[in-house]
A and B are shown apart, each in its own frame.
Chain A
Amino acid sequence: MSDTPPGDTVLEVRDLHTHFFLRRGVVKAVDGVSFSLKRGEVLGLVGESGCGKSLTALSLMRLLPKGGARTIKGEVLLGGENILQHTPAEMREIRGRRISMVLQDPQTSLNPVFSVGDQLREAIERRRKGASLSEIMKEAVAALRRVEIAAPEQRIGQYPHQMSGGMKQRVVGAIAISGEPEVLIADEPTTALDVTIQLQYLKLLKRLQAENGMAILFITHDFGVVGRMCDRVAVMYAGRIVECGPVKQIFEAPQHPYTRALIASVPKMTGPAGRLTTIEGQPPSLMDLPVGCRFASRCALVEQRCLDAYPRSVRVGDAHTADCWKVSPP
């Protein structure tokens, strides 16, 4: 369990830049991302495909894909220490112990040729060096019980293919939290699950969080999940966070034109079922970003200064900021 008192910042990301250096040019996939995460808090990171949300997560874990991706600037402070400066050996101590990750597809996160028990054991052993096998297996059963898997004593000897998608994702969750991390990064953990199973999984995550007070960075493209899970939300567009604030404020009074358009384009379960609002056009190429606001080419409110310079970040309310020239401070 983490020693930080509630409300304290456990993770702070400052001006993170992760680019792909390719022969064709530089893809600025993450280009100046800053946010902080408090103990016991859930921060949602939303955006469309290619906005850089998953690469932000991989940068924090220092698990960048091979082939030219490099974090060239910025700081990732975990409990005050910049982990971008750590050696690979020091990072291995941090991963799974202080920061863990759950990915979208439980099918590929688990090894198909090892039993669930073996995979849990691997995670628990690292933390409890010198413990006997029976102690570790007892703990593995307890870990499965914590993620509400029925009959964990039988399940522990089974292989991933013998389990359903929802159950596999629970096992992944059990492995991720077995090291009692301070920060859990959940990258679209429910996208591959059916809706009734999704609800079960989100509620489980909430319960686990209440138990051990970890902070969660929840990456998703689904505003429904944000409304259910998150305390604050950061909206990403073309490599940058364009708006960040408490969930309620973002939903009720979004300030950035992109956030507004994005929320308006979601089909609703109530109200008139007529035509949907759309955002015309495409996001800019990350190889050839405009100097000004990145949303300018699709924005209805665009004016000259939006094209000339990237907007300053405006504080529009309590812990609520938006990067837009057309937004003025209250």
Chain B
Amino acid sequence: MKHLIFSEKTDFSVNRVIDWLAYYDQSFEKFIGPTENKDLFIYNDKTFSFTFGGKGFSNSSKVYKQSQINTATTWFRRPYKNCDHFLQEYEYQGAYPREKLDYTIYQRFRVFWDFIGYKLSEGHHFGSFKINELNKPIVLQEAQKIGLLVPKTLITNSKEELIHFLRDCNQKIITKPIHEVMRDHHYELEKDEYLFIYQMTQLLEELDDKPDIFAPSLFQEYIEKEYEIRTIYINGECYSTAIFSQLNEQTKIDMRNRDANEPTRYFPYKLDASTEEKINVLMNKLNLNFGAIDFIKSVEGDCFFLEINPVGQYGDVSIFGNYYLHKKIAEFLLNKKEKK
């Protein structure tokens, strides 16, 4: 029996969970993609057979690669949605356009890939095959509905509305992407020299500069924080740390802008029971058993909910909070009860 793990190349925390799986003498296989050519879950090298329906016909799921692959558990850590890598080079000179044929093949691959995810989700699994991103405005609205405090938020494509909002928020707002941040990019200048292009949350205190015209965008009031809270939600349990990102100018607006030699201070933290209960309700509503959840504790003492990342990083919270989350995840995959 094997543990299947769907992740990506830069997700180092997975390796720490694998260390624990190895400690428990477990067999596992990690798939990363879709940008990598190796370690992909390809099916050209496998034989699949799923049966169901009819009268007296048995439901079965079989996957063979030399011998039958039996799945113990599946961890959808960062499952990939694209399945271009399933396409094989083939000779074709027919009248039907090649790109339309490729598109049709891709759609079929995609449906089958989703079906595999659906079947794996029927077994013992962690994370979600379907949800590797959330709609930020919807999550904020849902959080507000169940009683969590969210920052004043504006989604608009009107500069005039934005000016009013800035005034309403004492001339301090932030702009952050409505979706996840733009992917970083290394722009080569010359040998060993490059420009690193990235995106951070930006503080806006005036709107004199461009743009005047823009697509619907997300703006929120800037909250003077005492500290940030990152909570890792695992199957109904909240593991939180207070993060003192306001102590460093560099991490004040966006804590990701960290410095390796001046690390941000983390401290184990316990959210109040009411907030943990609301988080539980929200996560159940979103059908998630894992999430990295961000809060801000304002200098006035209010706790603002910011967002949930359903595939967020938990390594920092685990290490600095001394929570052994890698071990807990491995033990969940093993279906082990936590030792008291």
| A and B form one complex | no
